[in-house]
Amino acid sequence: MITKPLKFLFLLYLCCSVGSVFAQYGRTNSTATTNPFAQDTTKRRPAKVLTDDQLLDSLRKKDDHKGDSVIFTSKFIRVTNEKLLNDSTQVLPLDTTLNNFENYSILYQPRSPKIGLGNLGLAYRNLLFEPAKAIGFDVGLHFLDAYLLKPEDVTYYRARTPFTNLYYVNGSLKEQVFRVTHTQNIKPNWNAGFNFNRIGSVGFYPRQKSDHLEAAIFTWYESKSKRYNLLANLNFNNLKAPENGSIIDSTIFKKDNNSTGTINANSSLAKSSQPVRLNNSRDNWHDNSFYIKQFYYIGRAEGLKTGAGSSSSVLPTQRISHTFTYNSRQYKYLQDEADPNNRVFPLHRYDTLYSRDSLSVKHLRNEFSYSFYLRGNAVKFVRNELKLDLGLVHDYYKYSQWVRSPGQISTTNVQLATSNVNSFQDITLKARLGYNLSDRAALDVNLQQVTLGREFGDYLYDAKLDVLLGNKIGRIIMEAYTQSNTPPLIYTNWISSHYQFINNNFSKPKTTGLSFNYLNEKLQLDAKAEYFLLGNYLYFGLSDTTAEYSNNLKAMQAGGSISLLKLSLAKNFTWHNLHFDNFLVYQKTSNADILRTPDFYTYNSLSYTKKFFNVLNTNFGIAIRYNTTYLAQAYAPGIGQFYNNSSIKFPSYPVVDLFIKGTLRRTNIFLKYDYANQGLFSKGFYTVVAPGANANNAIGYPMQDALLKFGVSWNFYN
């Protein structure tokens, strides 16, 4: 007899077996009518293709509500700026590549090299001819401009996850750069963040320690309907740059090493203790601004997918915008020492020991614009477009210039005397006309004219034609522009402790430029020809060239026109893992004595790419930069101006850098040895002449020595 417990176990086994049988039965293809729960895959709709933003939202939703594991990467971050938002709402992927990563310094960008006083953070000027395309009021002080964080330079983000970037460069304390960027979305359509940047470079010689702080708080709001956008930022800049007037020893790079055990002239200790001409002089810039831009789309606004791998854009048919900017700038030159024998300055006009020069500028700007767009039907992401922008800009300026009161001797309770106060307004009209013929051709005409105010008559007329000849043939870009602008303040009405440039009735400088640019992405080729005609060119020179140590400057204007031809060629070669990048420039001017720039400049980089352990992408190579000799300019402390002095030409040698850079997950790193060939051709070099130098005493500001640098950029996505 079967016991009751065994019966129950037998019945349980039967039930389980029946469930398994039906499960197997339901998986056959012939049971669609007998099993109502079976799915007919032959009639299933095709899966919906999601956009990048929809995919990111879906992953974020899974992470928030279902607890699924999501690995956050750079794909969750999109970036934009004011320029990308001028015509439509565009966002781009975050750039995490190693391209040009080792060239972090603004002084040594391959296509825009600069010369300076020997260290990052000090005064500089462009090595190549690069005219500024701008009109309106200009103070004329630009020797620290590249270190400023300006409202138009701020990057805005669309972050699906909080994003932080830490960036640090160290060169044995001789050169240090630190940056922090953090941003996150407060709401899906509202982002906020901040930037914090520091440059604290000690340098190799006394009085080279720059101390710059730049910070910004920014936000970007976009309405849910995507019609309204708001960009806003607060910027704070505090730049501190010492002035040493150059070293005194003109044979610093000519002395031989000795073997006596004593400190030789080429040692770091000897260089850090070199006597300099100024020991207690410095520049201090404060530049703070509040910026807010609002724009609203009127009428039909549509989205456009611009291609694979890029984000969608919102294209308006009409747009109105308003931009408000308040900027407060203060330029200070402080000096608490004498200048023996007037080797740096021509004279002390008020006090032989102390200088307190200050210029304060308040700028209030309102810009209103209306844009109209006329487009054809979109066909495969391509369309024809006609656009018209009309704008009106109102600028209000107030500036005050101060110098130390005559006879004031005490260092406490310093009295300042106002020497120059003025306020004025400018009204500028803007018009822009553009026509895009699908993606094959684009014409853009930009017109700006100051119609009322101190800068009345200033204008900038610019036209550009972009034609795509074919994906294999490449494209050509032709541009022509002409501009006329009021002379900067420093040339016409300037009073300081050492220099006075007043009552100069200079004509308005005029610049005409023509350019032809050929680009071929397939061949990695970029060739450009530029021609400039400069009328009424302004510059600084010496008022007395016969004195032994002449340093008395004079604002000057060239009598005739100066022409300059500039040819540049960028060509990159790739063979397997080898990369050979080249950039060459040839310049020829009709007046090399006034417009001082080298005839030839080249930057070449040879590198090899290798992936180690399937995770570490590395690139190591060598870079060489070189320019031919030319008439060098001198530098005038106190007013931050580079000027033409005597006919001094410094020897020119190639500068070789060795580097290795790599990517490991979220981190980019580089190791770079600058000026690795020091001692091979020369023990050092100059690019700027010291004040008061002449052909018999060709002393300059010594440039940086060989230096090993380490840099890291670390991204955090959560």
Specify the DSSP class assigned to residue 43.
G
Residue 269: enclosing H or E segment and its boundaries? helix 268-272
Write down the pLDDT at residue 265.
46
Stated pTM of the model: 0.85
* C-alpha distances in Å from residue 220, one per residue of 155, 170, 355, 510, 557: 10, 33, 44, 38, 45
CB 163 within 8 A of CB 184: yes
Tell me the per-residue pLDDT of 340-363, one tens digit each, with 9 for 90 and over.
767 788 877 777 788 889 999 999
Instruction: Give the mean model confidence (pLDDT) for residues 147-160.
Output: 94
67-92 average pLDDT score:
79
Dihedral, CA atoms, 123, 126, 131, 132, nearest 10 degrees? -40
Q: Give me 713's structure tokens.
A: 């950029």
| H/E run at residue 270 | helix 268-272
Backbone angles phi, psi at 295, to 5 degrees: -145, 150
Residue 319 has pLDDT above 60, yes or no: yes
Confidence of residue 288 (pLDDT cuts 50, 70, 90): very high
Residue 32 has pLDDT above 60, yes or no: no
The CATH number that domain 74-254+269-716 falls under is: 2.40.170.20
Tell me what the pLDDT averaged over the chain comes to: 85
Residue indicated by tokens 């060989």: 706
- What pLDDT does 625 receive? 97
The pLDDT of residue 156 is above 60: yes
In whole angstroms, give the CA distance from residue 448 to residue 460. 5
Helix (H, G, I), strand (E, B) or coil at 398: strand
Determine what percent of the chain is predicted with pLDDT higher than 70: 81
Query: What is the mean predicted confidence (pLDDT) over 170-176?
Result: 91
Between CA 503 and CA 494 the distance in angstroms is 9
Q: Which residues contact 79 (CB under 8 A, 6 or more apart)?
A: 91, 92, 93, 94, 95, 155, 156, 157, 158
pLDDT digit string, tens, across residues 359-394 = 999 999 999 999 998 876 654 445 688 999 999 999
pLDDT score at 311? 44
For 61-83, what is the mean pLDDT? 70
pLDDT value for 40: 42
Look at residue 437 in the predicted model and tell me its pLDDT: 84
Query: What is the side-by-side order of every strand in the sheet holding 77-80?
Result: 92-93, 77-80, 156-159
Element containing residue 12 per DSSP (H, E): helix 4-26
| pLDDT tens digits along 680-716 | 888 999 999 988 777 677 789 999 999 999 999 999 9
User: How confident is the model over 44-68, as pLDDT tens digits?
Assistant: 444 455 555 555 555 555 555 544 4
Residue 25 has pLDDT above 60, yes or no: no
- What distance lies between CA 133 and its chain's CA centroid? 16
Question: What pLDDT, on the 0 to 100 scale, is given for residue 592?
Answer: 94
What is the bridge-based pairing of β-strands 474-484 and 313-336?
A: unpaired
End-to-end CA distance of the chain: 69
Nearest to 567 by CA among 591, 535, 589, 543: 589
CB count within 10 Å of CB 308 equals 6
Tell me: the pLDDT tens digits for 607-630?
Answer: 999 988 888 899 999 999 999 999
Residue ranges of domains in the chain: 74-254+269-716
